[in-house]
């Protein structure tokens, strides 16, 4: 029995595949390469010695998707595929709903048709509302504030309703906090198209000289130094969290959302400082106005992940900034340089 991995060549999917193949899991990878590179497949092979069983499939293409379910006998699905840019989701919400909701529904319907009963889903801390309390537990009120967040929250609800209707089904949305870092070999990492939206890829592009300076969005928040505080998690820790979640899903039923975070926050200035110190490089920055939609600070209560998955983060902020830089320095233009 194999595990279907959607979005397998994206940032988090690719690191998961490397970890899971290295641990001997039997994976079938799919992606449509809309936001990723075919070269990732060579990297997975390079890092694991396993030639990945890959199929180019778009989840909106039900015929192709069904042929995959006909050809294989899947025990579980890990569903990473989806659009993930907050600003873009506000500009084109229907594109987000079609890809993230319709694509995911197609997948779930196929799972129903072929009696595949374990689903681990890439969700996000963005499903929570403004913190009513901090850190966030999984019971915290949900109220996303943009279409991207809505797609994550809605598909969680769909999984929950389906799990309630099918007593054999196990639905495990993993609510990621802020994934950064890269494979420690420097051979694989995040490769955003265009100017990055997120902090760490922006920092690495400034450090490598492709962007002039980082804009720090606001230093007047009620936080340790006025800049935004987030719970950063190394993508390799995140990968391991998924491996544990698959085992959990295969041994349990019902709907079980789980936070994956370190349980500790760092400010923007603390991240910049860690990056500069660890990598002996400088990151010019200037403080500008707050970015619309940003919260001051939040981090995960990761107790449930420890209790249910026996998982907690192993890697530090120093590991994260070192590995993010290792990848950027080795391949300044990402997979185009590979
Ligand atoms: N920041 C800057 N300058 C930048 C980019 C970010 O100062 O150029 C700051 C932000 O204001 C924030 C922190 O760095 O305080 C982290 O910002 P990111 O954009 O890296 O991450 P977010 O916390 O905004 O968003 C992330 C993911 C989303 C996800 C969300 C969940 O990018 O996909 O976490 O809460 F929805």
Q: How do residues 242-293 score in pLDDT, each as one tens digit?
A: 999 999 999 999 999 999 999 999 999 999 999 999 999 999 999 999 999 9
- Tens of pLDDT along 85-137? 999 999 999 999 999 999 999 999 999 999 999 999 999 999 998 999 999 99
Its pTM surpasses 0.75 = yes
Cα 59 to Cα 30: distance, rounded to the nearest angstrom: 9
Pairing type for strands 266-267 and 229-230 reads antiparallel
Q: Give percent of the chain with pLDDT exceeding 90.
A: 99
Which pLDDT score is estimated for 1? Answer: 86
Q: Quote the ligand 1 centre to 41 CA distance (angstroms).
A: 28
Alpha-carbon torsion angle 49, 50, 55, 57, nearest 10: -70
CATH architecture of the domain with residue range 2-179+233-261+300-313: 3-Layer(aba) Sandwich (3.40)
SS (H, E, C) the chain: CEEEEECCCCHHHHHHHHHHHHCCCCEEEEECCCCCCCHHHHHHHHHHCCCCCEEECCCCCHHHHHHHHHHCCEEEEEECCCCCCHHHHHHCHHHHHHHHHHHHHHHHHHHHHCCCCEEEEEEEHHHECCCCCCCECCCCCECCCCHHHHHHHHHHHHHHHHHHHCCCCEEEEEEECEEECCCCCCCCCCCCCCCCCCHHHHHHHHHCCCCCCEEEECCCCCCCCCCCEECEEEHHHHHHHHHHHHHHHHHCCEECCEEECCCCCEEHHHHHHHHHHHHCCCCCEEEECCCCCCCCECCECCHHHHHHHCCCCCCCHHHHHHHHHHHHHHCCCHHHHC
**Nearest of 86, 82, 90 to residue 8 by alpha carbon:** 82
Contact 240, 260 (CB under 8 A): no
Q: Quote the ligand 1 centre to 199 CA distance (angstroms).
A: 6
Contact 313, 17 (CB under 8 A): no
Judge whether residue 149 has pLDDT over 90: yes
Judge whether residue 197 has pLDDT over 90: yes
Q: Give percent of the chain with pLDDT exceeding 70.
A: 100
Average pLDDT over residues 167-178: 98
Q: Which residues line ligand 1 (CB under 6 A)?
A: 84, 86, 124-126, 178, 197-199, 202, 214-217, 228, 230, 268, 291, 294
- Residue 285 catalytic? no
Average pLDDT over residues 155-166: 98
pLDDT, the chain, mean: 97
The confidence band for 14, taking pLDDT boundaries of 50, 70 and 90, is: very high
Q: Name the residue of 80, 83, 217 to mutate for ligand 1: max ligand atoms within 8 A of Cβ.
A: 217
Q: Domains of the chain: which residue ranges?
A: 2-179+233-261+300-313
Cα 76 to Cα 73: distance, rounded to the nearest angstrom: 9
Average pLDDT over residues 35-59: 98
Average pLDDT over residues 226-254: 98
Cα 303 to Cα 307: distance, rounded to the nearest angstrom: 6
Nearest protein Cα to ligand 1, atom 26: 178
User: Of the residues 83, 96, 148, 221, which is catalytic?
Assistant: 148
Average pLDDT over residues 215-221: 98
Nearest ligand 1 atom to alpha carbon 148: 36
Nearest protein Cα to ligand 1, atom 18: 198
Which pLDDT score is estimated for 312? Answer: 98
- Tens of pLDDT along 48-84? 999 999 999 999 999 999 999 999 999 999 999 999 9
């Amino acid at each position: 029995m194999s595990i279907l991995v959607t979005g397998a060549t994206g940032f988090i999917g690719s690191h998961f595949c490397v970890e899971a193949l290295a641990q001997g899991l039997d994976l079938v990878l799919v992606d449509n390469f809309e936001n990723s590179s075919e070269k990732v497949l060579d990297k997975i092979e390079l890092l694991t010695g396993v030639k990945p069983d890959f199929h180019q499939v778009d989840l909106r293409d039900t015929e192709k998707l069904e042929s995959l379910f006909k050809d294989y006998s899947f025990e579980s699905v890990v569903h990473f595929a989806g659009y993930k840019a907050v600003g873009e989701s506000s500009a084109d919400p229907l594109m987000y709903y079609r890809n993230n909701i319709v694509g995911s529904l197609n997948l779930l319907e196929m799972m129903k048709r072929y009696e595949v009963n374990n689903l681990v889903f890439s969700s996000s801390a963005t499903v929570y509302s403004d913190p009513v309390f901090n850190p966030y537990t999984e019971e915290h009120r949900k109220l996303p504030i943009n279409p991207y967040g809505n797609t994550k929250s809605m598909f969680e609800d769909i999984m929950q309703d389906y799990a309630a209707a099918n007593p054999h089904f196990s639905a495990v949305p993993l609510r990621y906090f802020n994934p950064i870092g890269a494979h420690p070999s420097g051979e694989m990492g995040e490769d955003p198209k265009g100017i990055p939206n997120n902090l760490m890829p922006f920092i690495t592009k400034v450090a490598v000289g492709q962007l002039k300076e980082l804009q720090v969005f606001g230093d007047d928040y009620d936080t340790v130094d006025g800049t935004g505080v987030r719970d950063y998690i190394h993508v390799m820790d995140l990968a391991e969290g998924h491996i544990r979640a698959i085992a959990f899903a295969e041994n349990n039923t019902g709907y079980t959302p789980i936070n994956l975070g370190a349980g500790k926050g760092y400010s923007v200035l603390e991240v910049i400082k860690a990056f500069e110190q660890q990598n002996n490089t400088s990151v010019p920055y200037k403080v500008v106005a707050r970015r619309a939609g940003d919260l001051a600070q939040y981090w995960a209560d990761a107790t449930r992940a420890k209790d249910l998955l026996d998982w907690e983060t192993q890697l530090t902020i120093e590991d994260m900034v070192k590995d993010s830089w290792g990848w950027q320095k080795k391949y300044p233009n990402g997979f185009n340089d590979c």
